[in-house]
Amino acid sequence: MTEIHNLDCSGMVCPQPVANTKKLLNSINSGDIIEISGDFCEAAENIKRYVEKHDAEVLEMKTEGQNYYLKVKKL
Point out the residues that are catalytic: 14
- Through-space distance between the first and last CA atoms of the chain, rounded to whole angstroms: 14
User: How far is residue 69's CA from residue 61's CA, in Å, rounded to a whole number?
Assistant: 6
Q: Would residue 31 be called left, alpha or beta, if left means φ above 0 and alpha means ψ between -120 and 50 degrees? A: left
